Amino acid sequence: MKKYIVANWKMNPQSVAEAEDILAYIDEYLKNETEKKERSLIICPPFVFLDDISKILSTSQLSQQAELGAQDIALADSGAWTGEVSGPMLKRLGVSYVIVGHSERRWKMGESDELVNKKLKTVLANDLTPIVCVGEKVRDNNFKEFLKNQLSATLAGLSDDEKGKCIIAYEPVWAISSNPDSHPDKPEDTLKAVNIIKEVLSPNTLVLYGGSVTSKNAKDFLLLEQIAGVLVGGVSVQKEEFVQILKNL
């Protein structure tokens, strides 16, 4: 089964030169990989680097395994939306995937399920593949109901065909390292959430794990048949650590 490795660079690195260095390191590893593995590598840099990264991906070993993703999308395709980047703009830069509903945008920036739903529909309308993030802030007795409600609201109004085009990234906020009260997730606990997601959507839904993935825990999640891959955050710009994750496949 092909696994998805999504690198969410967030607001990193600080220069194109650093971005090029990260990709060159990954590219060198892929060139020397003795056993070719079934994977789909998706690089999601900040908007300002999309053009540069697009050119690098198309002219290196990465072109055979990597695709370009964006971290967000504007609600409209054009018009008076200061500071926003539209779907058509993303497509012209070679973007294929868009992250929507990331926990940082939900919890830090106040994006509601309704807003995420609108962005999700915009992604689909532009023939881009959405990576839809969902997840509870705390794991308590109500987490199943919370997750079901969040899924229903986030994917409201979508046809079964449209839902089938979505990749779901399960992000337990309580397990994310930037959370001061975080504690590690366990694969068996993640499977409970994955089963809920597949129950609400479809048994064939692709579900990624995105709760502070590192080279130390990635293999535990990637070995599970029910999990289609990982959404890697902060360590995706740590080139040695990220390559270790690729080796875990």
- Rounded to an integer, what distance in angstroms lies between the CA atom of residue 43 and that of residue 63? 11
Query: Domains in the chain, please, with CATH?
Result: 3-247 (3.20.20.70)
Could you list the beta-strand ranges (E) of 135-234. Answer: 167-170, 206-209, 229-232
Among 26, 14, 71, which Cα is nearest to 45's? 71
Q: Are 224 and 191 in contact (CB under 8 A)?
A: yes
For 75-86, the pLDDT digits (tens) are: 999 999 999 999
128-144 pLDDT, tens per residue? 999 999 999 888 899 99
CA angle 199, 71, 149 (to 5 degrees): 30
- Where residue 141 falls (left for φ over 0; alpha for ψ -120 to 50; beta otherwise) is alpha
pLDDT at 182: 64
User: For residue range 146-177, what is the model confidence (pLDDT) as tens digits?
Assistant: 999 999 999 999 999 999 999 999 999 888 77
156-180 residues labelled b (16+ CB within 10 A) or e (exposed) = eebeeeebeebbbbbbbbbbbeebe
- Kindly give the confidence (pLDDT) of every residue in the chain, 249 residues in length, as a single tens digit, with 9 standing for 90 and above: 789 999 999 999 999 999 999 999 999 999 998 887 889 999 999 999 999 999 999 988 888 889 999 999 999 999 999 999 999 999 999 999 999 999 999 999 999 999 999 999 999 999 999 999 999 988 889 999 999 999 999 999 999 999 999 999 999 988 877 666 667 788 888 999 999 999 999 999 999 999 889 999 999 999 999 999 999 999 999 999 999 999 988
pLDDT on residue 34: 82
CA-nearest of 111, 107, 114, 110 to 136 is 107
pLDDT at position 80? 97
Consecutive H or E run containing 56: helix 50-58
The catalytic residues are 102, 171
Residue-level pLDDT at 216: 92
What are the structure tokens assigned to 149, written together? 């409600």
Element containing residue 28 per DSSP (H, E):
helix 16-32
Query: In the prediction, which pLDDT does 48 show?
Result: 96
Specify the pLDDT at position 172: 92
- pLDDT at position 196: 96
**3-class secondary structure, 116:** helix
**Torsion angle of the four alpha carbons 3, 151, 94, 211, in this order, in degrees rounded to the nearest 10:** -50
